[in-house]
Structure 1
Amino acid sequence: MLGPHDVGHRVVVRRRVGVRADRPVFSDILGELVDLTERDLTVRTVERVVRVPRAEITHAKRVPDRRRPTATETLERVAAAGWPAPEQARLGEWLLRAASGWTARGNSALPLGDPGRTLRAAVDAVETWYADRGLPPKITVPDPVGGRITVEVTDRGWTPAPPTLVQTAALADVTAAAGAEIEVRLDAAPPDAWLAAVAGYKGTLPDAARRIITGVPLARYAGIYAPDGSPIAVGRGVIADGHPEWLGLSLVTVDPAHRRRGLGRAVVASLARWAAGAGATRAYLQVEERNTAAVAMYAPLGFRTHHAYVTWTAPPA
């Protein structure tokens, strides 16, 4: 049991919360022990302050103090800010995202930091949150920080999607390697023709998709257009609030009839020049590992893999 010397430290407390089918039901609380009396313990979690009567406690112990975020965790938070799901909630420090099913990034939990409960209870809560919204529960697990989560969801029968690479490059390298300039139009809001091109690439664009696409105020929507105004190549670049050094690139696509002409690189380079002028110094993007054509396009611009992630999906209920 905990004592006065544990006050001010992180602890985990297991308490009996009821009975189900003639068996006791337990719940775990993870946080900082802020007070301790003969009758109860008080724990500050990432969500609230909880007073636990000693009579309910079956086990309590100190756990290691919270560590500093890794480079992978930091960049994942930057990327999440650049692709803002219209519905978001916190599970401790984990981020829950929903966007009517449009893209895995917009409809998966991002398990970074402390969920404020045990891992098993956290995954249970993820399953409930997505089921309540009629969405398949998903968790995006970055490598290498999500090893324990991978074990947990594997044991539950969740299935992995193909890996996605998170690549980064210095903006100076991107612009230097771009080669001859091709005229690219940059708009502060996405034109209808630009949205139509993205819809052709991603399928339909529900309202949630448009809210993600336009959810970052400081953004540019790059396009190369034919004489009749139809889009040939498009891309999106954002600098999310609180992360002024990073340009986030997404939705870069070229019409199949116009590929292998350097248009995709021209779109990326134009967004890099805009972002550099706004004070950014680095860029990131996310590309499926199996999309070898896109990986090959980004490599000459200086993009290298920073880390990878896998999105896991729960089996049907």
Structure 2
Amino acid sequence: MRVVENLNLALHGLLADDPRAYLLGEDVTDPYGGAFKATRGLSTRFPGRVLSTPISEGAITGVAGGLALAGDTAVVEIMFGDFVALAFDQLCNFASKSVSMYGRPLPLRLIVRAPMGGGRGYGPTHSQSLHKHFIGLPGLSLYEMSPFHDNTLVLRSMLSRGEPGILFEDKVLYTRRMHEADPIFRVRLDGELAVVDLDDAPECVVIAPGGVAHRAMAAMRTLLMEQELSCRLLVPSRLYPLDVDALLPYLGDAVVVAEESTAGGTWGSEVAHQLHQRLWGRLRRPVAVAHSRDGVIPAALHLEREVLLNEETIGTAVLEVLRG
């Protein structure tokens, strides 16, 4: 099963299990079924609860927030995650605040799905990874789709928190197969954390969100074959608030965080900060953060590859931590 098919199945299950659940977005109804086909078949099966909307991300998210405030469940599809910036006010000043600003805890079951990332040649305004702009908003949780996490469980986890959440979906994952990995890797799940090992004694641990996982594994394979270095990869489903305690048993004295965002106030910086507080006495060097180059993302594929985080970027960061 491909990742997008797993996501589609999860959305079918959510709407089937919850008669008060709605899904809203641009062109999400059949026969189109969304820009990346994640909503295919939903409007046919659940007429009246899957709604194609006008092109206004702020309005879509505002209506969904109102549904959630009234006790319903709402899922929003932002066609391209870059445009979640247009919904920032609704998320920052309404939805995330509503869980606590009325004098009592108020569950708000809202999920905003945001296809993010490059690698498809879509250019500067359709290829960004904007995770960092939502880090640290009280009452807003952040998740990222992964080839190792069943999306049914991810959606359940998001809704069980009783607060609005964003599910970042790296576009390069949609066509990948679930649990796809080179046979040299051992993959296991520990709650919301996927652990990818080459052996039981890694020399460096790489922490990365789901969309970066295959680039990290490619870097790990190259380091093993060319440098005889073994690494471990940790892929958390929930990016924020980060469950640091879940990471600690798998960490050593060398750590790299890899992300596709550009540098500056990022998720990776937050992970590094929290790990420094816990591990400073045993780290060989400060936690390294590998990220994309500073600048807009070109549409030309050969130029895009030069800007975005890739396996060489990750491999170089690992070598610098181990040998610097």
With the shorter chain as reference, the TM-score category is under 0.3
Q: Bigger radius of gyration, 1 or 2?
A: 1
Q: Which has the higher strand share?
A: 1
Q: Which has the higher helix share?
A: 2
Q: Normalising by structure 1, what TM-score? A: 0.27
Q: Normalising by structure 2, what TM-score? A: 0.26
